[in-house]
Amino acid sequence: MLHHITKGKPVRTRLIKLRTPQRMPKTLSAEQVRQLIAACQRRRDKFLISLLYETGMRIGQALGLRHADIQSWDNVIRVVPRDDNSNGARAKIKDAHTVHVSADIMCLYSDYLVYEFDEIESDYVFVNLWEGERGRPMTYGSVADLFRRLSRKTGIFVHPHMLRHTHATELLRSGWDAAYVQKRLGHAQIQTTINTYTHLTDDDMKKAYQAYTEKMRKGSDTNHDI
């Protein structure tokens, strides 16, 4: 039958569909993050970089933050999806979720309010202070300009989403369960977290095996003592 259809001509076909390998997300080292923060001349910018790194927020979520979303007394930030952001910021989530942060982040926020935000009347956390219309919420374009300046100054190629990748990768390497990382990042499905962030390097595998053998050795020593 196939001979009749193809008239005897050979037909190339792939019996097994090969899966295209997924690239590992680009991340930064802790030292590189420190260099980027140190390169910021403004408290607002230091706070923004630190916030993205420590929370894994998308840049749209950070640009849409309101002061009412930050509970400084409890070290909690609410990530709330809104469709009416005047700067076009999008959270890319359906439901609000809570992100716990360090006291250091809240100190940066307080310093920013006291020394730079001052008497500006705006519900938005991140606003124009030195360029553009003062007090207007920052846009994606103004953030892109900031990251380009930091890249030139430090020699480190960086864009906002790399800080999200870095945060998630650090959590997983430190032993966080993927379900917790999913919740923190606001992924709707845990499979998204797994597919994106659980690609292990050879170094990850080596460290994991060393930890395993150390645990087994200690267990063996304990049994001998008994």
Residues 6+ apart with CB under 8 A from 145: none
**Would you state the structure tokens that stand for residue 21, as one six-digit string?**
């390998």
Q: Which helix (H) or strand (E) holds 100?
A: strand 97-100
β-bridge pairing 70-71 and 76-79: antiparallel
User: What does the alpha-carbon distance between residue 36 and residue 163 come to, in Å, rounded to a whole number?
Assistant: 11
Enumerate the active-site residues. Answer: 58, 92, 161, 164, 187, 197
| Phi (first) and psi of residue 100, to 5 degrees | -85, 140
Residues 6+ apart with CB under 8 A from 209: none
Token pair 């500006």 in the structure block, residue:
120
